[in-house]
Amino acid sequence: MKQFDPASNIQDLLQFGEFGDVNPSITDSATYTFMEAKTMVDTFQGEEEGCFLYSRHWNPSNKYLADALAAMEGTESAWVTASGMGAITTTILQLCDAGDHVVSSITTYGGTFAFLSNYLRKFNIEVSFVDITRLDEVEKAIRPNTKMVYTESLTNPLLQLSDIPKLSEITGKHNIKLVVDNTFTPMIMAPARMGADIVLYSLTKFVNGKNDCVAGAICASEEFVKAISDVNTGSAMLLGPILDPLRSSGIHKNLHTLHLRMKKHSDNAMFLAEKFASAGLRVIYPGLSKHPQHQLMKVFMHPDYGFGGMIAIDLKTSKKASALMEKMQQEGVGYLAVSLGYFKTLFSNSGKSTSSEVPENVQKEMGLSEGLIRFSVGLDHDIERTWQKIYTCLRETRVI
């Protein structure tokens, strides 16, 4: 079978501005004129395609970015949001009614975990958290009122791989949706091609890659995108998490270099993961043969883009983790900061930051050590030089 090629799919799009400008024009308008009143009525009733009525509904700049993301994912359609959480909450609230039930991976981004475990209670929506690598557990958790299985392709921060084809067999059998957050692995994995119904992104991370804004995306069927943008019942239209067109135009330009950046992030991460392992540290990285799902990842990934830019190392205690992170920042390895997918290396202690929403006993249960440092490896030109700096920091903080 011909390899699905997200970068060429983006490249093949002809998206230019109204005056032939090579970058699509930025639509700086909240509302749009209609030449005939009837067209306005028909547009509101969903009977007129191709007209813009109001920028909370659709904006041409957002449409260019959404079309490019749909091409990248191989989905019929897409929608862009003001944050990754905007994409996640819009999707879940569209799929679930009060009294419904969700099955979710227990390892997810902390904000997602908090939304699922704390916020959905307001609607009497129950969530069962499972180890997503245990397919028997996933299937057992499904109830008659379950609407979706939620997971991340490579989970945050433990880098567990979701077996999307097998999960989609389960969701298909029960006629429920499989929703996959692919924030960690754009281009590396194409969840919709593997059976996911809806693919979510925090564009804030690798896709934009510049750490200058927050944004998100929902890649899905035309039917689902129509449903979320419906003027009467759509969660996107009615809750309004809309991306600013100026930002979407910036992200759209950055998307065109994503394939180059992902390859470099992965090459650098692979190099550092091997060095951490050879220094005797406990490392989690799907590119290492000792990662329990290394072989499966090789089957799922696009070979051109590597195993991704995220690594976790376990120093056992948060005190040791803090000392190392502070030293690495002083030595110019990167920044002690949350988030990921930036051109500089970022590191944070997950249990005390991006997963701090997960109660400590649950962190222990899921195997999240208090000394876990999550690295988002940057685009360093000379990664050997970076390793030398890290090595010095490891020695000076007595980690090794």
Residues in contact with ligand PLP by the rule CB under 6 A: 83-85, 109, 111, 152, 156, 181, 183, 202, 204, 214, 216, 339, 354
| 139 membership: H or E segment, kind and range | helix 135-141
CB nearer to ligand PLP: pick between 186 and 245: 186
CB of 85 to ligand PLP, least distance (A): 4
E strand intervals along the chain: 77-81, 101-105, 126-130, 146-152, 177-181, 198-202, 216-220, 282-284, 310-314, 335-336, 346-349, 372-376
CB of 297 to ligand PLP, least distance (A): 17
Question: Residue 205: what residue type?
Answer: K
Structure tokens at 149: 């299985």
CB nearer to ligand PLP: pick between 203 and 383: 203
Euclidean distance between CA atoms 163 and 153, whole angstroms? 8
CB of 32 to ligand PLP, least distance (A): 28
CB nearer to ligand PLP: pick between 346 and 399: 346
CB nearer to ligand PLP: pick between 84 and 186: 84
CB of 136 to ligand PLP, least distance (A): 25
E strand intervals along 182-261: 198-202, 216-220
CB nearer to ligand PLP: pick between 310 and 393: 310
CB nearer to ligand PLP: pick between 55 and 204: 204
CB atoms inside a 10 Å sphere around CB 134: 11
CB of 375 to ligand PLP, least distance (A): 14
CB nearer to ligand PLP: pick between 152 and 380: 152
Contacts of residue 208, Cβ cutoff 8 Å, sequence gap at least 6: 215, 250, 251, 254, 255, 341
CB nearer to ligand PLP: pick between 115 and 224: 115
Query: What pairs with residue 202 in β-bridges?
Result: 216
| 223 membership: H or E segment, kind and range | helix 222-228
CB of 390 to ligand PLP, least distance (A): 23
CB nearer to ligand PLP: pick between 161 and 214: 214
Which strands, in side-by-side order, build the sheet including 216-220?
77-81, 216-220, 198-202, 177-181, 146-152, 101-105, 126-130
Whole-angstrom CA distances from 172 to 195, 200, 256 are 9, 19, 34
CB of 300 to ligand PLP, least distance (A): 17
Name the one residue in this structure whose structure tokens are 């957050």. Answer: 181
CB of 47 to ligand PLP, least distance (A): 34
Whole-angstrom CA distances from 194 to 163, 306, 381 are 9, 18, 33
CB of 158 to ligand PLP, least distance (A): 12
Which strands, in side-by-side order, build the sheet including 335-336?
282-284, 310-314, 372-376, 346-349, 335-336
CB of 7 to ligand PLP, least distance (A): 22
CB of 139 to ligand PLP, least distance (A): 24
108 within 8 A of 201, measured Cβ to Cβ: no
CB nearer to ligand PLP: pick between 82 and 142: 82
Question: Residue 102: what residue type?
Answer: V
Backbone CA torsion sign across 282, 202, 7, 154: positive
Indicate the residue whose CB is closest to ligand PLP: 84
Backbone CA torsion sign across 237, 241, 244, 248: negative
CB nearer to ligand PLP: pick between 320 and 374: 374
